[in-house]
Structure 1
Amino acid sequence: MKHPYKKFFQLQLLMMIFTLLLGIVAMVKGSLLLIVTALFCLAFSFIFEGLAEYKKQHTFQFAQQMTRAVVIILFVSYLYITLI
């Protein structure tokens, strides 16, 4: 039997892999856009983990992951706008 939140864990893993790959490429190339994209992938990883916790009725962990994602998105967006 498949767990109803298995897809969220798979998406979280996929986003973490994208984050790692984009982060390595961004460091090698020195591209600001790739760094921002990698950090957004990290935020989406937190979102998917939070949704999995929400499905398991763990509201505190859900709130933690959503807060982390929102902070990363706001901080990265602010930095990107000010650096361009």
Structure 2
Amino acid sequence: MRHPYEKFIRLELIAILVAVVIGLFALIKGFLLIVILALYMLAFSLASGAIVEWNMNQTNQAGKHFLQAILLFIFTTYMIFQL
């Protein structure tokens, strides 16, 4: 039997893996815009994890992760405008 939120869990794991791969590529090549893309993927991963926790009625953890995702998104967007 499959977990009812397996799609969201897979989405979170894929986003983390993509963020790691993009982040490693950015470190090797030294491109700042690719680092920003990796940070956006990390924020997306946190948001999808928050959705899973929200649906599992863990509202405190979901709120904390969603707030982290929003702050990371705002910080990354601020970095773009400072370039």
| Category of TM-score, reference length = shorter chain | over 0.9
CA distance in 2, matches of 1:54, 1:6: 14
TM-score when normalising by structure 1: 0.94
Give structure 1 stretches of 5+ with no counterpart: none
Instruction: After TM superposition, give the deviation of residue 41 of structure 1 in Å.
Output: 0.4
CA distance in 1, matches of 2:56, 2:2: 14
Aligned to 2:27: 27
Give the 3-state SS of the residue equivalent to 1:63 in structure 2.
Answer: helix
Instruction: After TM superposition, give the deviation of residue 32 of structure 1 in Å.
Output: 1.3
Say whether residues 1:67 and 2:67 are aligned partners: yes
Identity across the alignment (%): 33
Give the 3-state SS of the residue equivalent to 1:57 in structure 2.
Answer: coil
Runs of 4+ residues deviating >2 angstroms: none
CA distance in 2, matches of 1:32, 1:81: 13
Q: Pairwise CA RMSD of aligned residues?
A: 0.7
Instruction: After TM superposition, give the deviation of residue 33 of structure 1 in Å.
Output: 1.2
Q: State the AA in 2 paired with 1:73.
A: F
1:19 touches 1:41 (CA, 8 Å); kept in 2?
Answer: yes
Instruction: After TM superposition, give the deviation of residue 38 of structure 1 in Å.
Output: 0.3
TM-score when normalising by structure 2: 0.96
1:20 touches 1:38 (CA, 8 Å); kept in 2?
Answer: yes
Aligned length in residues: 83
Instruction: After TM superposition, give the deviation of residue 36 of structure 1 in Å.
Output: 0.6
